[in-house]
A = this chain, B = another copy of it.
Amino acid sequence: MADSETPGDLIATMGQGARVAAQDLARLPTDTKRRGLEAAAAAVQAAADAILAANDRDMTRAAEAGLSGALLDRLRLDPARLAGMVAGIAAVAALDDPVGRAIDERTRPNGLHLSRVRVPIGVIGIVYESRPNVTADAAALCVMSGNAVILRGGSEARDSNRAIHAAFAAGLGEAGLPHDAVQLVPTTDRAAVGAMLAADGLIDLIVPRGGKGLVARVQAEARVPVLAHLDGINHVFVHASADPAMAVAIVVDAKMRRTGVCGSMETLLIDRTYPQAATLIAGLQAAGCTVRGDAGVRALADVDPADEADWDTEYLDAIASVALVDGVDGAIAHIAAHGSHHTDAIVATDPDVAECFLAEVDSAIVLWNASTQFADGGEFGLGAEIGIATGRLHARGPVALEGLTTYKWVGRGAGQVRG
């Protein structure tokens, strides 16, 4: 950014470049996009030394700044992680291309043939924090879906992001893809994020990738549509009809497989008439989970008390809140009051009860007899994900290539007039 250039000027210039690139990207055949991504993957691999050296500089700066161990781990690249990033780009290149696919078609009585055809959204803005692999992952998903992308990574990963972006963009360029298909905001000035959020007409969609603070800021400030989730306050409800062994397995997996992911269970709801509630709680505790229970739960097991705030808390840690509820209606009411519309599951053998839960719980993902930790684009067969959305419009749950497209109506006639 030149000294005289405001963040708004910078984003306007980048946005105009992205819009021109988006017009080109929208009409590229699948094979051309694939070749571009394969070239980008090769270029990132070829630049491994430079990228790892840049990452060393970021790590040194971050350690000096006193970043926590978890943040340092997210920031860190090594040859294996870099190879994973390269493999991820190649995996996206192998996915089915949604662009040009017909959603449906019809021929009107007057002979006019109409179809709805998937087209790229246009220009995507990605705002992310410390993980430098997002630079490559998000860029690959956007390019494969025919979108131009403006990336704005966190200051702590500045050098890593610049090195990854330089290699990725050079690879795309060698394969003949437009120069501005993938741009990285050159400044880590926070005002540049504000300019992106206000860039209505230049950026079509913002995807924040990072912690709750980042997502909340983006959702509060954005004039551009946002695809994201703020919380994953996910529930597992164990119905009276549940298979006890299955219930323990699902509950422990949902909470403890990885506690820091957005699909992890935060609250366990147990049907008041379920006979093996104590076994469930013991299973969590045996797996290393701290349990906070309501009065009913505390009468069954030795657990900490849960207060009102617990039902609205995303721990992202080895802690679970547990409540007894009155049947499926009680579970649905609790989730309506405290859920975050992310992922909620029921364990039950009674199909009527399960279908009631699936129909009435208003979340992006509802599951019957499966762990909430499946909330993931790869696990859903989408090959990847740009993120998980809990909003109500456009795309919900895991969002991958199709969620990065929209549609247009295409009509083919023989001279029809409305008359």
**B249/A417 in contact, CB under 8 A:** yes
Q: Which of B205, B365, B409 contacts A393 (CB 8 A)?
A: B205
Chain B proximity of A186: nearest CB distance (Å): 26
A27-B359, A27-B360, A257-B419 known; A408+B365 contact, CB < 8 A: yes
* Interface range for A: 35 or more
**8 Å CB contacts to B: which residues of A351-393?**
354, 358-360, 362-371, 373-374, 379-381, 392-393
**A381/B106 in contact, CB under 8 A:** yes
Q: Which residues of B contact A354 (CB under 8 A)?
A: 412
Chain B proximity of A8: nearest CB distance (Å): 18
**B369/A416 in contact, CB under 8 A:** yes
Q: Which of B114, B119, B121, B250 contacts A415 (CB 8 A)?
A: B250
Q: Which residues of B contact A412 (CB under 8 A)?
A: 354, 358, 367-370
Taking the full assembly, how many copies of this chain does it contain? 2
A394 interfacial contact with B, CB 8 Å: yes
Chain B proximity of A113: nearest CB distance (Å): 9
Q: Which residues of B contact A415 (CB under 8 A)?
A: 243, 246, 249-250, 369-370
A83 interfacial contact with B, CB 8 Å: no
**B365/A417 in contact, CB under 8 A:** no
Closest to A108 in B: B381
How far does the alpha carbon of A362 sit from the alpha carbon of B406 in the complex, in Å? 11
How far does the alpha carbon of A393 sit from the alpha carbon of B417 in the complex, in Å? 29
A413 interfacial contact with B, CB 8 Å: yes
Chain B proximity of A403: nearest CB distance (Å): 10
How far does the alpha carbon of A189 sit from the alpha carbon of B117 in the complex, in Å? 42
A381-B108, A409-B364 known; A416+B374 contact, CB < 8 A: yes
The 9 listed contacts between A and B (C-beta, < 8 Å) are A23-B360, A106-B381, A108-B381, A122-B362, A204-B393, A205-B393, A367-B411, A397-B408, A398-B409
**Which 9 interchain pairs have the tightest Cβ spacing?**
A370-B413, A253-B417, A373-B418, A246-B415, A367-B411, A369-B413, A394-B394, A397-B409, A370-B416
